[in-house]
A = this chain, B = another copy of it.
Amino acid sequence: MRTIFEAELTQLGEDLVAMSRLVEAAMADAGTALLTGDVALAEQVIAADRAVDALEQDLDERCIALLAQQQPVATDLRTVVTALRMSASLERMGDLARHIATVARLRYPTPAAAQPLGETFAAMHDAANRVAQRTTRMLSTHDLDVAEKLERDDDLLDGLLEEVFATVLAPSWEGSAQETVDATLLSRYFERFGDHGVSVARRMVYLVTGETAVPA
Chain A residues with CB under 8 Å of chain B are 53, 57, 63-64, 67-68, 71, 73-74, 77-78, 81, 84-85, 88, 165, 168-169, 173, 175, 177-178, 180-181, 184-185, 188, 215
For A175, give the chain B residue with the smallest CB separation. B177
Nearest chain B CB to A171 CB, angstrom units: 9
Nearest chain B CB to A142 CB, angstrom units: 21
Cα–Cα distance between A181 and B182 once the two chains are bound (Å) = 9
Given contacts A67-B77, A88-B88, A178 and B184 within 8 Å (CB-CB): no
For A56, give the chain B residue with the smallest CB separation. B215
Cα–Cα distance between A186 and B84 once the two chains are bound (Å) = 30
Q: Which residues of B contact A215 (CB under 8 A)?
A: 53, 57
- 19 CB contacts below 8 A, A to B, read A57-B215, A63-B81, A67-B67, A67-B81, A71-B71, A84-B84, A84-B85, A85-B88, A165-B181, A168-B181, A169-B178, A169-B181, A173-B177, A175-B177, A180-B181, A184-B184, A184-B185, A185-B188, A188-B188
Q: Pick the contact of A181 from B67, B84, B85, B184 — CB < 8 Å?
A: B184
Q: Which residues of B contact A74 (CB under 8 A)?
A: 68
Q: Pick the contact of A64 from B77, B165, B168, B169 — CB < 8 Å?
A: B77
Q: Which residues of B contact A77 (CB under 8 A)?
A: 64, 67-68
